[in-house]
Amino acid sequence: MSERKIVVMIDRAKRDKIADIVDALTHVGMTVERKLDSIGLITGHADGQSIPELECVDGVASLRDEGVMYAIGNPEE
């Protein structure tokens, strides 16, 4: 399956554990690009097959799949 852009919302009660949640998401296969502590959001990308595992990470309130990531090459090639 292809790489998917992912947005993870952290459970309000677990926001103080966001660093641990980032570690757990990374361990399951997510490449974290941004961590927005103040609003409890983590963005990044992962293989589509890992989405069910990512959703099961303790502290994840919801996960939104933003779709397939496309690489943009040099337009002159």
Q: In the CATH scheme, what architecture does the domain 3-68 have?
A: 2-Layer Sandwich (3.30)
Tell me the domain boundaries of the chain: 3-68
Residues 6+ apart with CB under 8 A from 59: 10, 11, 14, 17, 18, 20, 21, 24
Cross-strand pairs, 60: 10
Note the pLDDT tens digit of each residue in 28-56. 999 999 999 999 999 999 998 999 999 99
Note the pLDDT tens digit of each residue in 53-62. 999 999 999 9
Assign 3 a pLDDT band (cuts: 50, 70, 90): confident
| More confident site: 2 or 28 | 28
Place of tokens 């966001």: 18
Q: Shortest CA distance to 63 belongs to which of 36, 38, 39, 43? A: 43
Q: Tell me what the pLDDT averaged over the chain comes to.
A: 89
Question: In terms of pTM, does the model score above 0.85?
Answer: no
